[in-house]
């Protein structure tokens, strides 16, 4: 049996006529920059996420970059974030000339630890307040503890940029006007940054991204930065870039958005099935640790996207050997991410390399992502778990 890590073909097959129609519509319109497809998607994503505005951008990376540029973060500034995420989270901080300040993650969720965030903010205040933004990442499709992070951000007056690239539609409990409600990723910070990279839960047929916000002034700055800071055309009061979302991507994503919650639900069903299959193997707690859905047991969680499983990531012993074994037995798997950001070669000065974030480093050493895409069939899930079981029996 063959179980790829991700297969986009069944999704394409199901939506092929609508996708071809959407692409053809853009081609025939001859309007190839921004326009009604982009505006339409911006409105729909904002509505879906529960924000006032959406800004279509060229990628998730450019959404982060535009957010940092729009806050005028630059040399001398620190941005508080996690060392355990995709490179773009840190790459964009460095590209605006600022420095990342890392704190460790929680072992349960792999997300930034609010306790450590509190410590860093308190220390920074004594240091003159160099932290100009916090970027929590909703890793693998599960929100960071936004309730506590937002409270800390408000206390210290630091804006939050949610890196929601892996978490469109993911929800977590949040406190608003003294009451606790479920809120969607990208609606709790100053802004949320989304990616439509094809492997994300909502993926285009190429690169794309979106920024969500409910701040009217901020959205105007982001819109300006998306188009070289031109206001009006050919008059530049600031230096922006070309961060525009392609209307072909917007048209395709509009087709797919209607199916997103069903895909999330299918991924959650697959995750539940994995949990059941793994429990029957007796490996859990010994060789394998299953991902924790930290909001799943809260009241009402069943009717919310408490985890959208962009990735289903287990922690395992003998990770590299298991990975090779799975590949040899036609099971796709991947390591997200093998090296923490503070250990990346591109970082200067070397002081980062002397830092240590034990929880993040442990995750980098032991994590393995298994196939979780919506269209997997039960025989495939069974085969994945059986193959893992066989590996531990023979090694
Ligand atoms: C995918 C991703 C990004 C970047 O998105 P692109 O659209 O590929 O530029 C940023 N942060 C995280 C956590 C991601 O997973």
- pLDDT tens for 97-106 read 999 999 999 9
CA of 385 relative to ligand 1 center, distance in Å? 29
The size of the chain, in residues, is 395
Q: Tell which atom from ligand 1 comes closest to the C-alpha of 139.
A: 13
Does the structure show a pLDDT above 90 at 350?
Answer: no
- Which residue from 297, 230, 307 is spatially nearest to 268, judged by alpha carbons? 307
Residue 233 sits in the same domain as residue 272: no
Residue 178 sits in the same domain as residue 309: no
Q: Return the residue matching tokens 């306790």.
A: 115
Q: For residue 4, is it within any domain?
A: no
Contact criterion met (CB below 8 Å) for 62 and 196? no
- Domain final residue, candidates 257, 285, 318: 257
Does the structure show a pLDDT above 80 at 349?
Answer: no
Q: For residue 359, is it within any domain?
A: yes
Q: Rounded distance, CA 347 to CA 260, Å?
A: 37
Ligand 1 probe mutation, 164, 166, 208, 244, most atoms within 8 A of CB: 166
Specify burial of residue 178 (Cβ count, 10 A radius: 0-12, 13-18, 19+). exposed
Q: For residue 323, is it within any domain?
A: yes
> What is the rounded average pLDDT of the residues 207-213?
98
Residue 319 sits in the same domain as residue 209: no
> What is the rounded average pLDDT of the residues 138-161?
98
- Domain final residue, candidates 229, 257, 285: 257
Ligand 1 probe mutation, 138, 165, 185, most atoms within 8 A of CB: 165
Q: Give the total number of structural domains in the chain.
A: 2
Ligand 1 probe mutation, 86, 162, 163, 241, most atoms within 8 A of CB: 86
Q: By three-state DSSP, how is residue 40 classified?
A: helix
Residue 306 sits in the same domain as residue 227: no
The CATH code of the domain that includes 241 is 3.40.640.10
CA of 5 relative to ligand 1 center, distance in Å? 18
Q: In angstroms, what CA-CA distances link 277 with 284, 326, 374, 380, 384?
A: 10, 17, 17, 12, 10
Q: Check residue 158 and give its pLDDT.
A: 98
Structure tokens of 182? 């479920």
Q: For residue 270, is it within any domain?
A: yes
CA of 64 relative to ligand 1 center, distance in Å? 9
172-181, 254-263, 346-355: least confidently modelled range: 346-355
Percent of the chain with pLDDT over 70: 100
Residue 145 sits in the same domain as residue 66: yes
CA of 387 relative to ligand 1 center, distance in Å? 30
Q: For residue 112, which phi and psi values (nearest 5 degrees)? A: -55, 135
> What is the rounded average pLDDT of the residues 127-132?
96
Q: Rounded distance, CA 362 to CA 194, Å?
A: 27
Q: For residue 143, which phi and psi values (nearest 5 degrees)? A: -65, 140
In sign, the C-alpha dihedral spanning 82, 141, 195, 7 is positive
Domain that includes residue 376, residue range:
260-394
- Domain final residue, candidates 218, 237, 257: 257
Res. 348 pLDDT band, cuts 50 70 90? confident
Structure tokens of 361? 């480093």
Q: Rounded distance, CA 133 to CA 72, Å?
A: 11
Q: Tell which atom from ligand 1 comes closest to the C-alpha of 195.
A: 7
Q: For residue 3, is it within any domain?
A: no
Q: For residue 188, is it within any domain?
A: yes
Structure tokens of 151? 């409270």
Q: Rounded distance, CA 161 to CA 158, Å?
A: 10
Q: Which residues contact 303 (CB under 8 A, 6 or more apart)?
A: none
Res. 202 pLDDT band, cuts 50 70 90? very high
**Mean pLDDT of all residues in the chain?**
97
Q: Tell which atom from ligand 1 comes closest to the C-alpha of 137.
A: 13
The CATH code of the domain that includes 318 is 3.90.1150.10
Res. 269 pLDDT band, cuts 50 70 90? very high
Ligand 1 probe mutation, 88, 100, 334, 340, most atoms within 8 A of CB: 88
Residue 124 sits in the same domain as residue 249: yes
Residue 232 sits in the same domain as residue 265: no
Q: Tell which atom from ligand 1 comes closest to the C-alpha of 209.
A: 7
Residue 157 sits in the same domain as residue 201: yes
Q: For residue 15, which phi and psi values (nearest 5 degrees)? A: -115, 5
> What is the rounded average pLDDT of the residues 218-245?
96
Residue 98 sits in the same domain as residue 223: yes
Q: Check residue 63 and give its pLDDT.
A: 99
Q: For residue 1, is it within any domain?
A: no
| Pocket, ligand 1, Cβ cutoff 6 A | 59-61, 85-86, 88-89, 137, 163, 165-166, 195, 197, 207, 209
Q: What Rg, from alpha-carbon coordinates, does the chain have?
A: 21
Is pTM beyond 0.85? Reply is yes
Percent of the chain with pLDDT over 90: 96
Residue 271 sits in the same domain as residue 372: yes
Q: Tell which atom from ligand 1 comes closest to the C-alpha of 310.
A: 15
Residue 249 sits in the same domain as residue 377: no
Q: Tell which atom from ligand 1 comes closest to the C-alpha of 62.
A: 9
Q: What share of the chain is helix, strand, coil (3-state, %, to 5)?
A: 45, 15, 40
Residue 117 sits in the same domain as residue 247: yes
Q: Check residue 59 and give its pLDDT.
A: 98
Ligand 1 probe mutation, 57, 84, 164, 197, most atoms within 8 A of CB: 197
CA of 177 relative to ligand 1 center, distance in Å? 32
Res. 151 pLDDT band, cuts 50 70 90? very high
Q: For residue 368, which phi and psi values (nearest 5 degrees)? A: -150, 125
Q: Check residue 353 and give its pLDDT.
A: 82
Q: Which residues contact 217 (CB under 8 A, 6 or more apart)?
A: none
pLDDT one-digit tens code per residue, 275-309: 999 999 999 999 999 999 999 999 999 999 999 99
Each as own residue / partner, the long-range contacts of residues 278-287 (CB below 8 Å, 24 or more positions apart, any chain) are 278/314, 278/385, 281/385, 281/388, 281/389, 283/388, 283/389, 283/392, 287/316, 287/317, 287/318, 287/392
Q: Rounded distance, CA 211 to CA 186, Å?
A: 8
- Three-state SS string over 69-100 comes to HHCCCCCCCEEEECCCCCCHHHHHHHHCCCEE
Q: What angle do CA 367, 172, 356 make, to 5 degrees?
A: 40
Q: For residue 17, is it within any domain?
A: yes
CA of 40 relative to ligand 1 center, distance in Å? 23
Does the structure show a pLDDT above 80 at 72?
Answer: yes
Does the structure show a pLDDT above 90 at 351?
Answer: no
pLDDT one-digit tens code per residue, 354-378: 899 999 999 999 999 999 999 999 9
- Which residue from 370, 58, 7, 310 is spatially nearest to 170, judged by alpha carbons? 310
């Amino acid at each position: 049996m063959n179980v790829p890590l991700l297969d986009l073909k069944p999704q394409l097959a199901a939506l092929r006529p609508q996708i071809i129609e959407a692409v053809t519509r853009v081609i025939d319109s001859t309007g190839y920059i921004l326009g009604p497809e982009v505006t339409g998607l911006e409105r729909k994503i904002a509505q879906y996420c529960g924000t006032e505005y959406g800004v279509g951008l060229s990628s998730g990376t450019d959404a982060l970059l535009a957010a940092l540029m729009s806050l005028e973060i630059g040399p001398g500034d620190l941005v508080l974030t996690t060392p355990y995420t995709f490179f773009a989270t840190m790459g964009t901080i460095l590209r605006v000339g600022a420095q990342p300040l890392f704190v460790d993650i929680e072992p349960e969720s792999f997300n930034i630890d609010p306790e450590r965030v509190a410590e860093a903010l308190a220390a920074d205040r004594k240091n003159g307040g160099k932290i100009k933004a916090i970027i929590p990442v909703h890793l693998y499709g599960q929100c960071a503890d936004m309730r506590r992070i937002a409270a800390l951000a408000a206390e210290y007056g630091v804006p939050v940029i949610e890196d929601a690239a892996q978490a469109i539609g993911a929800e977590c409990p949040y406190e608003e006007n003294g009451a606790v409600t479920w809120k969607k990723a990208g609606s709790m910070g100053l802004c949320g940054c989304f990616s439509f990279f094809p492997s994300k839960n909502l993926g285009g047929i190429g690169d794309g991204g979106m920024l969500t916000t409910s701040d009217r002034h901020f959205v105007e700055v982001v819109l300006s930065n998306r188009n070289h800071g031109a206001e009006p055309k050919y008059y530049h009061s600031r230096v922006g870039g070309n961060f525009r979302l392609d209307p072909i991507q917007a048209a395709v994503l509009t087709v797919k958005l209607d199916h997103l919650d069903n895909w999330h639900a299918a991924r959650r069903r697959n995750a539940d099935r994995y949990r059941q299959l793994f429990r029957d193997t007796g490996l859990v707690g010994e060789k394998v640790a299953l991902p924790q859905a930290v909001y799943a047991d809260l009241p009402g969680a069943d009717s919310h996207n408490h985890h959208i499983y962009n990735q289903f990531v287990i922690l395992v012993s003998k990770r590299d050997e298991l990975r090779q074994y799975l590949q040899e037995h036609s099971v796709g798997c991947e390591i997200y991410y093998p090296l923490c950001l503070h250990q990346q070669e591109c970082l200067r000065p070397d002081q980062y390399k002397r830092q240590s974030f034990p929880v993040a480093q442990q995750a980098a050493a032991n994590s393995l992502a298994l196939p979780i895409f919506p269209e997997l069939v039960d025989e495939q899930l069974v085969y994945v778990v059986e193959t893992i079981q066989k590996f531990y029996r023979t090694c």
